Chains A and B, each alone.
Chain A
Amino acid sequence: MVEIAQILAKIDGVAGAVLVAEDGVVLAHTLEGDPEKEGAVAAFLGAAAVQAGEAMKLGRLKRATVSMANDHIVVLKSKEYFVGLLLQGGASPALVASRAETLLEGVK
Protein backbone atom coordinates (compact mmCIF):
# COMPACT_ATOMS: atom_id res chain seq x y z
CA MET A 1 0.00 0.00 0.00
CA VAL A 2 2.77 2.41 0.96
CA GLU A 3 4.48 1.62 -2.32
CA ILE A 4 1.37 2.43 -4.29
CA ALA A 5 1.08 5.77 -2.52
CA GLN A 6 4.72 6.52 -3.25
CA ILE A 7 4.37 5.62 -6.93
CA LEU A 8 1.31 7.82 -7.27
CA ALA A 9 3.03 10.70 -5.50
CA LYS A 10 5.75 10.65 -8.18
CA ILE A 11 3.34 11.60 -10.95
CA ASP A 12 4.07 15.09 -12.26
CA GLY A 13 1.78 17.60 -10.57
CA VAL A 14 0.93 15.44 -7.51
CA ALA A 15 1.80 17.03 -4.17
CA GLY A 16 0.72 14.06 -2.09
CA ALA A 17 -1.25 10.82 -2.18
CA VAL A 18 -3.44 9.07 0.34
CA LEU A 19 -5.04 5.64 0.15
CA VAL A 20 -8.11 5.36 2.31
CA ALA A 21 -10.64 2.61 2.98
CA GLU A 22 -14.33 3.33 2.40
CA ASP A 23 -14.82 3.84 6.12
CA GLY A 24 -12.19 6.61 6.16
CA VAL A 25 -9.30 4.64 7.66
CA VAL A 26 -6.02 5.78 6.10
CA LEU A 27 -4.17 2.79 4.63
CA ALA A 28 -1.12 4.61 3.32
CA HIS A 29 -0.03 8.13 2.48
CA THR A 30 2.81 10.38 1.45
CA LEU A 31 1.44 13.53 3.04
CA GLU A 32 3.28 15.79 5.40
CA GLY A 33 0.25 17.56 6.77
CA ASP A 34 -2.79 15.86 8.26
CA PRO A 35 -3.28 12.51 6.48
CA GLU A 36 -6.38 11.64 8.53
CA LYS A 37 -8.09 14.81 7.43
CA GLU A 38 -7.13 14.41 3.78
CA GLY A 39 -8.12 10.77 3.92
CA ALA A 40 -11.52 11.69 5.33
CA VAL A 41 -12.01 14.23 2.55
CA ALA A 42 -11.11 11.61 -0.09
CA ALA A 43 -13.43 8.99 1.41
CA PHE A 44 -16.24 11.51 1.84
CA LEU A 45 -15.97 12.79 -1.71
CA GLY A 46 -15.52 9.31 -3.15
CA ALA A 47 -18.53 7.88 -1.34
CA ALA A 48 -20.74 10.80 -2.40
CA ALA A 49 -19.60 10.49 -6.01
CA VAL A 50 -20.36 6.76 -6.01
CA GLN A 51 -23.79 7.40 -4.50
CA ALA A 52 -24.66 10.08 -7.06
CA GLY A 53 -23.45 7.87 -9.92
CA GLU A 54 -25.46 4.91 -8.71
CA ALA A 55 -28.60 7.04 -8.40
CA MET A 56 -28.15 8.32 -11.96
CA LYS A 57 -27.12 4.87 -13.25
CA LEU A 58 -23.88 6.26 -14.70
CA GLY A 59 -21.79 3.15 -14.12
CA ARG A 60 -18.46 2.82 -12.34
CA LEU A 61 -16.88 5.97 -10.91
CA LYS A 62 -13.67 6.73 -12.76
CA ARG A 63 -12.61 9.86 -10.94
CA ALA A 64 -13.92 12.78 -8.93
CA THR A 65 -12.20 16.15 -9.12
CA VAL A 66 -12.85 19.03 -6.79
CA SER A 67 -11.55 22.53 -7.46
CA MET A 68 -11.15 25.14 -4.74
CA ALA A 69 -9.70 28.21 -6.45
CA ASN A 70 -6.29 26.88 -7.64
CA ASP A 71 -6.33 23.79 -5.44
CA HIS A 72 -7.46 20.50 -6.91
CA ILE A 73 -8.15 17.16 -5.30
CA VAL A 74 -8.58 14.08 -7.46
CA VAL A 75 -10.20 10.96 -6.03
CA LEU A 76 -10.03 7.63 -7.85
CA LYS A 77 -11.90 4.50 -6.89
CA SER A 78 -9.95 1.31 -6.64
CA LYS A 79 -11.59 -2.00 -5.80
CA GLU A 80 -11.13 -1.80 -2.07
CA TYR A 81 -10.18 1.77 -1.38
CA PHE A 82 -10.21 5.35 -2.56
CA VAL A 83 -7.09 7.11 -3.78
CA GLY A 84 -6.86 10.81 -2.95
CA LEU A 85 -4.36 12.92 -4.86
CA LEU A 86 -3.57 16.48 -3.82
CA LEU A 87 -2.41 18.40 -6.84
CA GLN A 88 0.24 21.09 -7.12
CA GLY A 89 -0.86 24.48 -8.39
CA GLY A 90 -1.16 24.50 -12.16
CA ALA A 91 -1.37 20.71 -12.51
CA SER A 92 -4.00 19.29 -14.85
CA PRO A 93 -6.48 17.12 -12.93
CA ALA A 94 -7.40 15.23 -16.11
CA LEU A 95 -3.77 14.45 -16.96
CA VAL A 96 -2.89 13.43 -13.42
CA ALA A 97 -6.00 11.27 -13.13
CA SER A 98 -5.23 9.57 -16.43
CA ARG A 99 -1.66 8.73 -15.35
CA ALA A 100 -2.81 7.58 -11.95
CA GLU A 101 -5.45 5.31 -13.51
CA THR A 102 -2.78 3.74 -15.72
CA LEU A 103 -0.49 3.18 -12.76
CA LEU A 104 -3.27 1.68 -10.68
CA GLU A 105 -4.15 -0.68 -13.54
CA GLY A 106 -0.51 -1.81 -13.54
CA VAL A 107 -0.60 -2.41 -9.79
CA LYS A 108 -3.61 -4.72 -10.13
Chain B
Amino acid sequence: MRNYLEEINGVIGVTGSLLCSPDGTLIASVLPESISEETLLVVSRTLAKTLDGLRLARHRKVTEMDLAYESGRLVVKNLSEGYLIILCTPNINVSLLNLAANPVVKRMQEALKAGGAPSKKTAGPPTPEPPAQAVTPAPPAVAVPSPLAPRLQAALDIVRAGRESRVVLRVMGEGALRIRCPSVADKPTRPEEEDTVQLAARSGQPVDATLKRLGYVGDSRFNTLFGSERMRFAHPQTRLYVEIFYDHLASYHRLEIGSRLHLDNGTLPLADLLLSQLQNVEASEPDFWRLAAVLIDHDLGGPGQPETIDVTHIVTLCSEDWGWYKTVMMNLEKCLEWAPKQLPAERSPGFQQHVARLHGMIEDAPKSLRWQTRARIGERQRWYELPE
Protein backbone atom coordinates (compact mmCIF):
# COMPACT_ATOMS: atom_id res chain seq x y z
CA MET B 1 0.00 0.00 0.00
CA ARG B 2 2.91 2.36 0.64
CA ASN B 3 3.80 2.21 -3.04
CA TYR B 4 0.33 3.40 -3.98
CA LEU B 5 0.58 6.24 -1.49
CA GLU B 6 3.99 7.21 -2.82
CA GLU B 7 2.50 7.31 -6.30
CA ILE B 8 -0.24 9.66 -5.10
CA ASN B 9 2.34 11.79 -3.31
CA GLY B 10 3.99 12.33 -6.68
CA VAL B 11 1.05 14.51 -7.80
CA ILE B 12 1.93 18.22 -7.73
CA GLY B 13 0.56 19.81 -4.60
CA VAL B 14 0.28 16.57 -2.61
CA THR B 15 2.46 16.55 0.49
CA GLY B 16 1.44 13.20 1.95
CA SER B 17 -1.25 10.57 2.15
CA LEU B 18 -2.53 7.88 4.43
CA LEU B 19 -4.87 4.94 4.22
CA CYS B 20 -7.12 3.86 7.06
CA SER B 21 -9.72 1.17 7.53
CA PRO B 22 -13.45 2.05 7.77
CA ASP B 23 -13.09 2.28 11.57
CA GLY B 24 -10.17 4.69 11.32
CA THR B 25 -7.37 2.24 12.03
CA LEU B 26 -4.27 3.27 10.15
CA ILE B 27 -3.23 0.86 7.41
CA ALA B 28 -0.37 2.77 5.82
CA SER B 29 0.92 6.30 5.66
CA VAL B 30 3.52 8.29 3.78
CA LEU B 31 3.53 11.72 5.36
CA PRO B 32 6.08 14.34 6.41
CA GLU B 33 8.04 13.22 9.49
CA SER B 34 6.81 16.25 11.41
CA ILE B 35 3.38 14.62 11.71
CA SER B 36 3.36 12.25 14.66
CA GLU B 37 1.61 8.90 14.88
CA GLU B 38 -0.75 10.26 17.51
CA THR B 39 -1.78 13.01 15.11
CA LEU B 40 -2.40 10.53 12.32
CA LEU B 41 -4.51 8.46 14.65
CA VAL B 42 -6.62 11.44 15.72
CA VAL B 43 -7.16 12.53 12.11
CA SER B 44 -7.94 9.09 10.69
CA ARG B 45 -10.34 8.25 13.50
CA THR B 46 -12.03 11.64 13.41
CA LEU B 47 -12.56 11.57 9.68
CA ALA B 48 -13.64 7.93 9.56
CA LYS B 49 -16.20 8.52 12.30
CA THR B 50 -17.42 11.66 10.53
CA LEU B 51 -17.95 9.87 7.24
CA ASP B 52 -19.72 7.05 9.01
CA GLY B 53 -21.90 9.51 10.91
CA LEU B 54 -22.81 11.34 7.71
CA ARG B 55 -23.67 8.08 6.01
CA LEU B 56 -26.05 7.21 8.83
CA ALA B 57 -27.57 10.69 8.91
CA ARG B 58 -28.12 10.96 5.17
CA HIS B 59 -28.58 7.27 4.37
CA ARG B 60 -26.09 7.71 1.58
CA LYS B 61 -22.45 6.89 1.18
CA VAL B 62 -20.09 9.86 1.26
CA THR B 63 -17.88 9.51 -1.78
CA GLU B 64 -15.52 12.36 -1.10
CA MET B 65 -14.76 15.00 1.49
CA ASP B 66 -12.67 18.10 0.87
CA LEU B 67 -11.49 20.15 3.84
CA ALA B 68 -9.81 23.45 2.97
CA TYR B 69 -7.75 25.28 5.57
CA GLU B 70 -5.56 28.36 5.58
CA SER B 71 -2.34 26.44 5.17
CA GLY B 72 -3.37 23.09 3.73
CA ARG B 73 -6.10 20.88 2.44
CA LEU B 74 -7.31 17.39 3.28
CA VAL B 75 -9.02 15.42 0.53
CA VAL B 76 -10.67 12.21 1.72
CA LYS B 77 -11.73 9.53 -0.72
CA ASN B 78 -14.02 6.70 0.28
CA LEU B 79 -12.63 3.40 -1.01
CA SER B 80 -15.44 1.35 0.61
CA GLU B 81 -12.87 -0.93 2.28
CA GLY B 82 -11.16 2.10 3.78
CA TYR B 83 -10.47 5.79 3.42
CA LEU B 84 -7.67 7.50 1.56
CA ILE B 85 -6.70 10.82 3.13
CA ILE B 86 -4.56 13.10 0.98
CA LEU B 87 -2.75 16.06 2.50
CA CYS B 88 -2.28 18.86 -0.03
CA THR B 89 -1.08 22.41 -0.29
CA PRO B 90 -3.90 24.96 0.08
CA ASN B 91 -3.88 25.96 -3.57
CA ILE B 92 -3.93 22.46 -5.07
CA ASN B 93 -5.90 21.96 -8.25
CA VAL B 94 -8.37 19.31 -7.08
CA SER B 95 -9.43 18.43 -10.64
CA LEU B 96 -5.81 17.72 -11.50
CA LEU B 97 -5.43 15.73 -8.29
CA ASN B 98 -8.47 13.63 -9.18
CA LEU B 99 -7.24 13.09 -12.71
CA ALA B 100 -3.86 11.87 -11.50
CA ALA B 101 -4.94 10.06 -8.35
CA ASN B 102 -8.15 8.31 -9.38
CA PRO B 103 -6.47 5.52 -11.40
CA VAL B 104 -4.28 4.78 -8.35
CA VAL B 105 -7.34 4.95 -6.12
CA LYS B 106 -9.05 2.39 -8.31
CA ARG B 107 -6.09 0.04 -7.99
CA MET B 108 -6.03 0.58 -4.24
CA GLN B 109 -9.71 -0.35 -4.06
CA GLU B 110 -9.06 -3.54 -5.97
CA ALA B 111 -6.12 -4.39 -3.75
CA LEU B 112 -8.15 -3.74 -0.60
CA LYS B 113 -10.99 -5.90 -1.86
CA ALA B 114 -8.51 -8.66 -2.59
CA GLY B 115 -7.16 -8.39 0.93
CA GLY B 116 -4.15 -6.24 0.13
CA ALA B 117 -2.77 -8.34 -2.70
CA PRO B 118 -2.44 -6.70 -6.10
CA SER B 119 -4.89 -7.82 -8.72
CA LYS B 120 -3.60 -9.32 -11.94
CA LYS B 121 -4.74 -6.23 -13.82
CA THR B 122 -2.63 -3.98 -11.65
CA ALA B 123 0.42 -6.16 -11.33
CA GLY B 124 3.58 -4.42 -12.39
CA PRO B 125 5.21 -1.30 -11.13
CA PRO B 126 4.38 -0.19 -8.55
CA THR B 127 3.85 -3.54 -6.88
CA PRO B 128 2.19 -3.07 -3.51
CA GLU B 129 2.87 -6.53 -2.11
CA PRO B 130 5.67 -8.99 -2.69
CA PRO B 131 4.90 -11.78 -5.13
CA ALA B 132 3.66 -15.12 -3.85
CA GLN B 133 7.14 -16.61 -3.77
CA ALA B 134 8.34 -13.89 -1.43
CA VAL B 135 6.02 -14.71 1.43
CA THR B 136 7.56 -12.88 4.32
CA PRO B 137 9.00 -13.70 6.68
CA ALA B 138 10.45 -16.64 4.82
CA PRO B 139 13.96 -16.44 6.33
CA PRO B 140 12.79 -16.98 9.93
CA ALA B 141 10.68 -19.91 8.72
CA VAL B 142 13.86 -21.61 7.55
CA ALA B 143 15.73 -20.68 10.70
CA VAL B 144 13.34 -22.26 13.19
CA PRO B 145 14.43 -25.52 14.88
CA SER B 146 14.25 -28.51 12.59
CA PRO B 147 11.55 -30.53 14.43
CA LEU B 148 9.15 -27.64 13.94
CA ALA B 149 10.24 -26.32 10.58
CA PRO B 150 8.06 -28.66 8.47
CA ARG B 151 4.95 -27.62 10.41
CA LEU B 152 5.68 -23.94 9.99
CA GLN B 153 6.68 -24.41 6.39
CA ALA B 154 3.39 -26.21 5.76
CA ALA B 155 1.54 -23.26 7.30
CA LEU B 156 3.35 -20.82 5.00
CA ASP B 157 2.64 -23.13 2.06
CA ILE B 158 -1.08 -22.79 2.86
CA VAL B 159 -0.72 -19.00 2.93
CA ARG B 160 1.04 -19.11 -0.44
CA ALA B 161 -1.58 -21.43 -1.96
CA GLY B 162 -4.27 -19.07 -0.67
CA ARG B 163 -2.59 -16.11 -2.32
CA GLU B 164 -2.44 -17.93 -5.64
CA SER B 165 -6.20 -18.49 -5.49
CA ARG B 166 -6.87 -14.99 -4.03
CA VAL B 167 -7.82 -16.34 -0.62
CA VAL B 168 -6.30 -14.34 2.24
CA LEU B 169 -4.83 -16.61 4.90
CA ARG B 170 -2.31 -15.70 7.61
CA VAL B 171 -0.53 -17.82 10.18
CA MET B 172 -1.52 -16.94 13.73
CA GLY B 173 -1.03 -18.30 17.23
CA GLU B 174 2.04 -20.15 18.38
CA GLY B 175 3.19 -20.93 14.83
CA ALA B 176 3.22 -17.25 13.91
CA LEU B 177 5.22 -16.42 17.02
CA ARG B 178 7.83 -19.03 16.11
CA ILE B 179 8.03 -17.64 12.58
CA ARG B 180 8.36 -14.02 13.63
CA CYS B 181 10.21 -14.23 16.95
CA PRO B 182 13.57 -16.05 17.08
CA SER B 183 13.59 -15.63 20.88
CA VAL B 184 10.76 -18.10 21.28
CA ALA B 185 12.40 -20.76 19.12
CA ASP B 186 14.21 -22.50 21.98
CA LYS B 187 11.13 -22.61 24.19
CA PRO B 188 9.27 -25.91 24.39
CA THR B 189 6.12 -26.33 22.34
CA ARG B 190 2.93 -27.17 24.17
CA PRO B 191 1.98 -30.79 23.40
CA GLU B 192 -1.35 -29.76 21.90
CA GLU B 193 0.43 -27.43 19.49
CA GLU B 194 3.05 -29.84 18.18
CA ASP B 195 0.95 -31.08 15.29
CA THR B 196 -1.36 -28.11 14.79
CA VAL B 197 -1.15 -24.78 13.02
CA GLN B 198 -3.65 -21.99 13.26
CA LEU B 199 -4.50 -19.64 10.44
CA ALA B 200 -6.71 -16.57 10.20
CA ALA B 201 -9.02 -15.94 7.27
CA ARG B 202 -11.83 -13.70 6.19
CA SER B 203 -15.27 -15.23 6.22
CA GLY B 204 -16.85 -15.84 2.85
CA GLN B 205 -13.62 -16.86 1.16
CA PRO B 206 -13.23 -20.38 -0.24
CA VAL B 207 -10.67 -21.52 2.32
CA ASP B 208 -11.83 -25.13 2.23
CA ALA B 209 -11.21 -25.38 -1.52
CA THR B 210 -7.65 -24.08 -1.02
CA LEU B 211 -6.92 -26.62 1.71
CA LYS B 212 -8.50 -29.49 -0.18
CA ARG B 213 -6.25 -28.72 -3.14
CA LEU B 214 -3.28 -29.20 -0.79
CA GLY B 215 -4.62 -32.58 0.32
CA TYR B 216 -6.23 -31.56 3.60
CA VAL B 217 -9.48 -33.18 4.66
CA GLY B 218 -12.11 -31.20 6.55
CA ASP B 219 -13.54 -32.26 9.92
CA SER B 220 -17.07 -32.36 8.55
CA ARG B 221 -18.86 -32.53 11.91
CA PHE B 222 -16.92 -29.64 13.46
CA ASN B 223 -17.10 -27.59 10.29
CA THR B 224 -20.85 -28.09 9.98
CA LEU B 225 -21.39 -26.98 13.57
CA PHE B 226 -18.92 -24.12 13.80
CA GLY B 227 -17.98 -23.40 10.18
CA SER B 228 -19.11 -19.79 10.28
CA GLU B 229 -16.44 -18.99 12.85
CA ARG B 230 -13.90 -21.81 12.81
CA MET B 231 -12.96 -24.78 10.65
CA ARG B 232 -10.67 -27.75 11.15
CA PHE B 233 -8.72 -29.78 8.63
CA ALA B 234 -6.15 -32.56 8.81
CA HIS B 235 -3.62 -33.89 6.34
CA PRO B 236 -3.78 -37.71 6.13
CA GLN B 237 -0.10 -38.10 5.17
CA THR B 238 1.65 -35.43 7.28
CA ARG B 239 -0.83 -35.74 10.19
CA LEU B 240 -0.81 -31.98 10.47
CA TYR B 241 -3.96 -30.37 11.84
CA VAL B 242 -5.02 -26.97 10.57
CA GLU B 243 -7.43 -24.74 12.41
CA ILE B 244 -8.95 -21.74 10.63
CA PHE B 245 -10.29 -18.75 12.56
CA TYR B 246 -12.61 -16.46 10.63
CA ASP B 247 -12.52 -12.70 11.22
CA HIS B 248 -11.81 -12.76 14.92
CA LEU B 249 -10.13 -14.53 17.78
CA ALA B 250 -12.50 -15.02 20.70
CA SER B 251 -10.82 -15.82 24.00
CA TYR B 252 -10.75 -13.66 27.14
CA HIS B 253 -11.36 -10.75 24.78
CA ARG B 254 -12.52 -10.57 21.21
CA LEU B 255 -9.77 -9.60 18.79
CA GLU B 256 -11.01 -8.53 15.37
CA ILE B 257 -8.51 -9.66 12.78
CA GLY B 258 -10.48 -9.92 9.53
CA SER B 259 -9.73 -6.37 8.41
CA ARG B 260 -6.05 -6.62 9.37
CA LEU B 261 -4.96 -9.69 7.43
CA HIS B 262 -3.58 -7.68 4.53
CA LEU B 263 -1.18 -5.75 6.76
CA ASP B 264 1.38 -8.53 6.73
CA ASN B 265 2.26 -11.14 4.20
CA GLY B 266 2.73 -14.40 6.05
CA THR B 267 1.40 -14.01 9.56
CA LEU B 268 -0.93 -11.80 11.51
CA PRO B 269 0.64 -8.38 12.14
CA LEU B 270 2.97 -8.23 15.15
CA ALA B 271 0.55 -5.95 17.03
CA ASP B 272 -2.17 -8.61 16.77
CA LEU B 273 0.24 -11.37 17.78
CA LEU B 274 1.15 -9.31 20.83
CA LEU B 275 -2.50 -8.59 21.63
CA SER B 276 -3.34 -12.27 21.34
CA GLN B 277 -0.82 -12.82 24.18
CA LEU B 278 -1.72 -9.72 26.17
CA GLN B 279 -5.42 -10.64 26.23
CA ASN B 280 -4.73 -13.65 28.45
CA VAL B 281 -6.19 -12.84 31.86
CA GLU B 282 -4.67 -15.99 33.36
CA ALA B 283 -1.23 -15.70 31.76
CA SER B 284 1.35 -18.15 33.11
CA GLU B 285 5.11 -18.56 32.75
CA PRO B 286 5.12 -19.83 29.10
CA ASP B 287 2.77 -16.99 28.13
CA PHE B 288 5.16 -14.39 29.51
CA TRP B 289 8.00 -15.91 27.51
CA ARG B 290 5.94 -15.59 24.33
CA LEU B 291 4.92 -12.08 25.20
CA ALA B 292 8.52 -11.17 25.93
CA ALA B 293 9.69 -12.69 22.65
CA VAL B 294 7.52 -10.32 20.61
CA LEU B 295 8.74 -7.29 22.54
CA ILE B 296 12.40 -8.36 22.60
CA ASP B 297 12.63 -9.21 18.91
CA HIS B 298 10.71 -6.22 17.56
CA ASP B 299 10.74 -2.48 18.09
CA LEU B 300 7.66 -0.44 18.77
CA GLY B 301 6.55 1.34 15.63
CA GLY B 302 3.57 2.55 13.69
CA PRO B 303 1.33 1.54 10.82
CA GLY B 304 2.91 0.53 7.55
CA GLN B 305 6.03 -0.86 9.26
CA PRO B 306 5.45 -4.62 9.26
CA GLU B 307 8.69 -5.47 11.09
CA THR B 308 7.73 -3.30 14.07
CA ILE B 309 4.80 -3.52 16.46
CA ASP B 310 2.11 -1.04 15.40
CA VAL B 311 1.42 0.51 18.78
CA THR B 312 -1.31 2.76 17.38
CA HIS B 313 -3.50 -0.30 16.93
CA ILE B 314 -2.92 -1.45 20.49
CA VAL B 315 -3.41 2.04 21.92
CA THR B 316 -6.62 2.53 19.92
CA LEU B 317 -8.08 -0.75 21.08
CA CYS B 318 -7.23 -0.05 24.72
CA SER B 319 -8.61 3.48 24.48
CA GLU B 320 -11.94 2.29 23.09
CA ASP B 321 -12.49 -0.75 25.28
CA TRP B 322 -11.90 -0.65 29.03
CA GLY B 323 -11.85 -4.45 29.27
CA TRP B 324 -8.95 -4.66 26.85
CA TYR B 325 -7.24 -1.78 28.63
CA LYS B 326 -7.57 -3.49 32.01
CA THR B 327 -6.16 -6.82 30.90
CA VAL B 328 -3.37 -5.39 28.73
CA MET B 329 -2.20 -3.01 31.45
CA MET B 330 -2.38 -5.77 34.05
CA ASN B 331 -0.20 -8.04 31.93
CA LEU B 332 2.27 -5.28 31.08
CA GLU B 333 2.67 -4.57 34.78
CA LYS B 334 3.15 -8.29 35.48
CA CYS B 335 5.81 -8.32 32.75
CA LEU B 336 7.76 -5.60 34.53
CA GLU B 337 7.80 -7.73 37.70
CA TRP B 338 8.58 -10.94 35.85
CA ALA B 339 11.38 -9.74 33.56
CA PRO B 340 14.19 -9.01 36.08
CA LYS B 341 13.78 -12.49 37.63
CA GLN B 342 13.44 -14.51 34.45
CA LEU B 343 15.07 -12.78 31.51
CA PRO B 344 18.82 -12.81 30.90
CA ALA B 345 20.46 -9.63 32.16
CA GLU B 346 21.34 -8.43 28.66
CA ARG B 347 17.74 -8.67 27.47
CA SER B 348 15.79 -7.49 30.46
CA PRO B 349 16.41 -3.70 30.25
CA GLY B 350 15.40 -3.44 26.57
CA PHE B 351 12.29 -5.49 27.16
CA GLN B 352 11.30 -3.47 30.20
CA GLN B 353 11.85 -0.27 28.26
CA HIS B 354 9.46 -1.43 25.51
CA VAL B 355 6.89 -2.52 28.07
CA ALA B 356 7.11 0.77 29.97
CA ARG B 357 6.80 2.80 26.75
CA LEU B 358 3.75 0.87 25.62
CA HIS B 359 2.22 1.14 29.09
CA GLY B 360 2.75 4.90 29.08
CA MET B 361 1.28 5.39 25.61
CA ILE B 362 -1.85 3.44 26.48
CA GLU B 363 -2.24 5.33 29.75
CA ASP B 364 -1.78 8.74 28.14
CA ALA B 365 -4.12 8.21 25.16
CA PRO B 366 -7.53 9.92 25.30
CA LYS B 367 -10.29 7.45 26.11
CA SER B 368 -13.67 7.02 24.46
CA LEU B 369 -16.96 7.79 26.18
CA ARG B 370 -17.74 4.07 26.22
CA TRP B 371 -14.37 3.42 27.92
CA GLN B 372 -15.02 6.06 30.57
CA THR B 373 -18.50 4.73 31.27
CA ARG B 374 -17.22 1.18 31.73
CA ALA B 375 -14.28 2.40 33.80
CA ARG B 376 -16.71 3.77 36.40
CA ILE B 377 -17.94 0.23 37.05
CA GLY B 378 -14.35 -1.04 37.26
CA GLU B 379 -13.56 -4.52 38.51
CA ARG B 380 -16.93 -4.90 40.26
CA GLN B 381 -18.08 -6.52 37.04
CA ARG B 382 -16.02 -9.10 35.16
CA TRP B 383 -14.31 -7.39 32.25
CA TYR B 384 -13.41 -10.48 30.24
CA GLU B 385 -15.02 -13.61 28.87
CA LEU B 386 -14.23 -17.08 30.11
CA PRO B 387 -12.85 -19.00 27.13
CA GLU B 388 -14.20 -22.44 26.33
Write the nearest CB–CB distance from B51 to chain A, whole angstroms: 8
Q: CB distance A61 to B69 under 8 Å?
A: yes
Contact B57 A61 (CB under 8 A): no
Q: What distance in Å separates the Cβ of A62 from its nearest Cβ neighbour in chain B?
A: 4
CA distance A49 to B63 in the complex (A): 16
Instruction: Give complex CA distance A51, B62 in Å.
Output: 19
Chain B residues, CB < 8 A from A55: 39, 42-43, 46
Given A41-B58, A45-B50, is A59 in contact with B72 using a C-beta cutoff of 8 Å? Answer: yes
B63–A67 touching, CB < 8 Å? yes
> Whole-angstrom distance between the alpha carbons of A69 and B78 in the complex?
12
Q: Out of B46, B47, B70, B94, which one reaches A58, CB within 8 Å? A: B70
Q: A48-B46, A58-B72 are in contact. Are A65 and B54 (CB under 8 A)?
A: no
Contact B74 A52 (CB under 8 A): yes
Query: On chain A, which size bracket covers the interface?
Result: 20 to 34
- Mark interface residues in B28-50 (1 if CB within 8 Å of A CB, else 0): 00000001000100110011011
> Could you tell me how many residues of chain B have their Cβ less than 8 Å away from some Cβ of chain A?
29
Interface string of A27-53 (1 = CB under 8 A from B): 000000000010011001100110111
Judged by a CB distance under 8 angstroms, whether B64 is at the interface is yes
A54-102 at interface with B (beta carbon < 8 Å): 55-69, 71, 93-94, 97
Cβ–Cβ contact B50 & A68, under 8 A: no
A68 partner, pick from B47, B58, B70, B87, beta carbons under 8 A: B58
A56–B72 touching, CB < 8 Å: yes
User: Is B256 on the interface with A (CB-CB < 8 A)?
Assistant: no
Measured between alpha carbons, how far is A92 from B16 in the docked complex, in Å?
A: 26
Inside 8 A of B74's CB, which chain A residues have their CB? 52-53, 56, 58
Measured in the bound complex, the distance between the Cα atoms of B148 and A63 in whole Å is: 59
Q: Please, which residue of chain B has its CB at the minimum distance from the CB of A49?
A: B67
**Cβ-neighbour of A59 out of B62, B65, B70 (below 8 A):** B70
Q: Report if A44-B63 is in contact (Cβ < 8 Å); known contacts: A56-B74, A59-B72, A62-B69.
A: no
Q: How far, in Å, is B316 (CB) from chain A's closest CB?
A: 15
| Interface residue B380 (Cβ < 8 Å from any Cβ of A) | no
User: Which of A40, A44, A49, A57: most chain B Cβ within 10 A?
Assistant: A49
Contact with A along B308-339 (1 / 0, CB 8 A): 00000000000000000000000000000000
Chain B positions within 8 Å of A61 at CB level: 67-69
The answer to whether B67 and A53 touch across the interface, beta carbons within 8 angstroms, is yes
What is the chain B residue whose CB lies nearest that of A94? Answer: B94
Chain B contacts of A44 at CB under 8 A?
50, 53-54, 57
Q: Is B66 an interface residue (CB 8 A)?
A: yes
Q: Are B67 and A64 in contact (CB under 8 A)?
A: yes
B46 touches A66 (CB 8 A): no
CB distance from B282 to the nearest CB of A (A): 39
Shortest C-beta distance, A22 to chain B (Å), equals: 15
Question: Which residues of B sit under 8 angstroms from A37, Cβ to Cβ?
Answer: 57
A53 touches B60 (CB 8 A): no
* A97 neighbours in B (Cβ, 8 Å): 68
In the complex, how many angstroms separate the beta carbon of B180 from the nearest chain A beta carbon? 32
A69 is contacted by which of B43, B53, B63 (Cβ under 8 Å)? B63
Residues of B contacting A48 in the complex (Cβ-Cβ under 8 angstroms): 46-47, 49-50
Given A58-B70, A68-B63, A69-B63: A52 in contact with B54 (beta carbons within 8 A):
no
Q: Determine whether the beta carbon of A69 is less than 8 Å from that of B57.
A: no
- Is B212's beta carbon under 8 Å from chain A? no
Asked if A68 and B72 sit within 8 Å, CB to CB, the answer is no
Among the listed A60, A62, A66, A69, which residue makes an inter-chain contact with B54, where contact means beta carbons less than 8 Å apart?
A: A66
Contacts of A52 in B (CB 8 A): 42-43, 46-47, 67, 74
A68 touches B60 (CB 8 A): yes
Q: How far is the CB of A100 from chain B (nearest CB, A)?
A: 13
Query: What are the 3 closest A-B residue pairs judged by CB atoms, nearest first?
Result: A59-B70, A58-B69, A48-B50
- Give 22 CB contacts A-B under 8 Å: A37-B57, A44-B54, A49-B50, A49-B67, A53-B74, A55-B43, A56-B35, A56-B39, A56-B72, A56-B74, A58-B69, A58-B71, A59-B69, A59-B72, A60-B69, A61-B67, A61-B68, A64-B67, A65-B66, A65-B67, A68-B58, A69-B60
- 13 new A-B contacts, CB < 8 A, other than A45-B50, A53-B74, A58-B70, are A41-B54, A53-B72, A56-B35, A56-B74, A57-B71, A58-B73, A59-B70, A59-B71, A61-B67, A62-B68, A63-B67, A66-B65, A97-B68
